[in-house]
Amino acid sequence: MFRAILFQQWRWTRLIVALSTVAAFAIPLFSVRGSAANLEHKEAASFLGDVQSWGVLYPTLAGALGVLLAITLWTPDHRGRHVYALALPIPRWRLVTYRYLAGLTLLAAPVIGLTLGTLLASGTASLPTGLHAYPLGLSVRFALAAVVAFTLFFSVSSGTARTAGTILGAVAALVVFQVLLSAAGSEANILMPIVNVLLTAPGPFAIFTGRWMLVDV
Amino acid sequence: MCDRRAAGGVLAALLTATALSGQALDSARLHHRADSLLALWREANTFAEVQQTLREDRRGQVGRQTRATAALRGENPVKAGDLMVIADFPDSIPLREAARRAWAILASTYAGEATVLVSQPIRLAVMFANRQPITVLSARRIRKNVSTEELERTLLGLAGQPRVDRRFSSWLGNTVRPVFDTAAEQSAVYVQLVTAGAAAATRCFEGSVAGCSAALQLAEDSEFYLTAFDALQRRTAVAGARSRQVLEPTALATYSLCVDHHVDSACVGFLHGIGAGQVPQPLSSQARNLLVSTALSLGGVDAYDRLMADSTAPVIARLERAAHAPIDKVVGEWRARIIAARPAVQGIPLRGAIVTLGWVGLIAIGAIRSTRWRLS
């Protein structure tokens, strides 16, 4: 059953998985293009700046990959009003578990692509004294971020359109309420504490924040 | 004929004597003028010192009066050491903690000078909706939801920094600043050591105290680029210092010899010509300020006063006097602190990974446990 679901999901998401794997492999290689052992004044700082600029792409790719994969996995069900799933001779929890595990299996391809890319980039880059490459740390971080994004949107997408609408509506209502508060001259800020809780450790999205550097001091 | 010669000789001798006596008179007059100018300069200096003392005394008196009347007028001043802060709504902001921290930094940095800096109380006006108009115009406006750190920085900024003599400020590039966030500043200097691209900075990073001294320009040498940079770095400094288009023909020839033909003596000549101020420094003023901070922390009480005691002494001697330690020990300690402050690597700690997996598990179980098929 799992293999059948995995194959079916692969057919649905192969374009997303293939493109993200290529991107995940290429980004580290592009990020260390300016490396050289004898970098001069300002060049080493500029090189680190470049690596940091490229670093923005890792969490972006991890987030986008997780979101797109999760949504794509449930789109046929929403379109078919869950009739296909109802027709299967297994309980819902088992179907969802298989779907989730198959999704995680598909996520492995871009993660492996990124790991190979970072290892290759670190091996070929010539770094000045004091700079180090962190290929495995970056790959683990990318994997965790992609899993977090995938899991969250998998959970939202596995419900009905009404569930997704309720969640998005609640977020929009918070934003609108904050705008109204500010317009009324109030100094109260209800949005920032929530954002802080989500984005700082031990929040669920803390993994996305901070410096994503393949090369650092 | 002989008479004529004798007369000519006498005339020449007379002229020479007149000229010499005139010269002697001129030099005597000039000496006299110089002496009187010196006397005038000394007098002006004395007057300036008296004026400065009076001004400081007046400021001190005003400060004392303001301090004395603040309590009487019910202004509820907040005191920490010699620092007094008068805020119109002191309990609505974290003033006590911020004042305590600010005074601790000021006292540990400036020793006796800290008291002079805060002789005048600092006035704050807390801003919030529907408050009555601010009557004290000199009061610094502060948001009601200001954090302790922001307020501490504001108080340090308002207290200011003592003036530093020219020799020390030319080396330091600024006045002595209190180090607010030591770990962050040390991390920033660590990154500088790695990315400076100066041979001396690299030697310093690798463990050479002499390299650190050269990178920190402790010798106060205007030709620091001879010890801090290698030939390649000097060439890069020349190429970065000026654009080829703006150079005059002679300078352009030297520039070309240096940049195009890699002649190091031409690079040295060019850098000498543009002056030390135009040459990129191996490390920033922040690094040197941290060295001063290290010397002050090693020296303990009154270290700042010892640092500023002799404005004519070389920087090395002053740092040694302030720290009560030889310069190699001060620089070694500075380096050890910088190396220890290496920024955290960007990998995630095990605890962070476990927490993230915990969130993943929680959300995934939420999705899987939902058993009802919802079709609408």
d(CA A11, CA A5): 10
Residue B133's pLDDT is 77
Give the domain extent around A21: 2-160+205-216
Q: For chain A, give the percent of residues with pLDDT over 70.
A: 97
* A8-35 pLDDT tens trace: 888 888 999 999 999 999 999 998 887 7
Residue B375's pLDDT is 45
Residue B213's pLDDT is 94
Provide the shortest C-alpha distance from residue A42 to chain B (in Å). 7
Q: For chain B, give the percent of residues with pLDDT over 90.
A: 40
d(CA B236, CA B238): 5
C-alpha distance across the termini of chain B, in Å: 141
d(CA A147, CA A103): 9
d(CA B331, CA B328): 5
Decide: B64 and B116 in contact? Cβ < 8 Å: no
* A92-137 pLDDT tens trace: 888 888 989 999 999 999 999 999 999 999 888 888 778 888 999 8
Half-sphere exposure of A29 (CA within 13 A, CB side): 11
Helix (H, G, I), strand (E, B) or coil at A132: strand
Q: Residue A168 pLDDT more than 70?
A: yes
Dihedral angle of Cα A138, A141, A143, A149, to the nearest 10 degrees: -140
What is the DSSP secondary structure assignment for residue A212, as one 8-state letter?
Answer: -
Please give the residue of chain B at the shortest CA–CA distance from A94. B368
Strand arrangement, sheet containing B78-80: B78-80, B83-87, B122-127, B140-143
The list of chain B residues with pLDDT below 70 reads 1-25, 59-75, 345-347, 370-376
Query: H or E segment at B329?
Result: helix B327-340
Q: Which of A31, A35, A40, A134 to mutate to test the interface with B (most CBs of B within 10 A)?
A: A40
Asked whether the beta carbons of residue B237 and residue A41 sit closer than 8 angstroms, the reply is: yes
* Number of domains, chain A: 1
Tell whether A60 is within 8 A of chain B (Cβ).
no
Question: Which of B237, B348, B373 faces A207 most closely, judged by CB atoms?
Answer: B348
Nearest in space to A58 (alpha carbons), one of A216, A214, A198: A214
Residue B135's pLDDT is 76
ipTM over 0.85: no
Provide the shortest C-alpha distance from residue B351 to chain A (in Å). 9
Which chain B residues touch A163 with a CB distance below 8 Å? 374
Residue A79's pLDDT is 77
Residue B5's pLDDT is 61
Please give the residue of chain B at the shortest CA–CA distance from A161. B376
Decide: B234 and B225 in contact? Cβ < 8 Å: yes
More confident residue, A211 or B372: A211
What sign results for the dihedral spanned by CA atoms B110, B115, B119, B120? positive
Measured in whole angstroms, how far is the alpha carbon of residue A85 from the centre of its chain? Answer: 27
Asked whether the beta carbons of residue B348 and residue A185 sit closer than 8 angstroms, the reply is: no
The amino acid present at B86, given as its one-letter code, is: I
Residue A96's pLDDT is 87
Task: Read off the pLDDT band of A140 (50, 70, 90).
Answer: very high
Q: Calculate the average pLDDT of chain A.
A: 86
Decide: B126 and B93 in contact? Cβ < 8 Å: yes
Tell me whether residue A184 is in a domain.
no
Encoded tokens for A30: 């592009």
Asked whether the beta carbons of residue B345 and residue A132 sit closer than 8 angstroms, the reply is: yes
* B347-370 pLDDT tens trace: 677 777 888 888 888 888 887 776
Tell me whether residue A165 is in a domain.
no
Question: Which of A41, A45, A213 faces B198 most closely, judged by CB atoms?
Answer: A41
Helices (H), A56-134: 57-79, 83-87, 92-124
Residue B346's pLDDT is 61
Asked whether the beta carbons of residue B371 and residue A91 sit closer than 8 angstroms, the reply is: yes
Helices (H), chain A: 2-31, 43-55, 57-79, 83-87, 92-124, 135-158, 161-183, 191-199
Residue A40's pLDDT is 60
What is the DSSP secondary structure assignment for residue A131, as one 8-state letter?
Answer: -
d(CA A103, CA A108): 9
Asked whether the beta carbons of residue A204 and residue B368 sit closer than 8 angstroms, the reply is: no
Tell me whether residue A176 is in a domain.
no
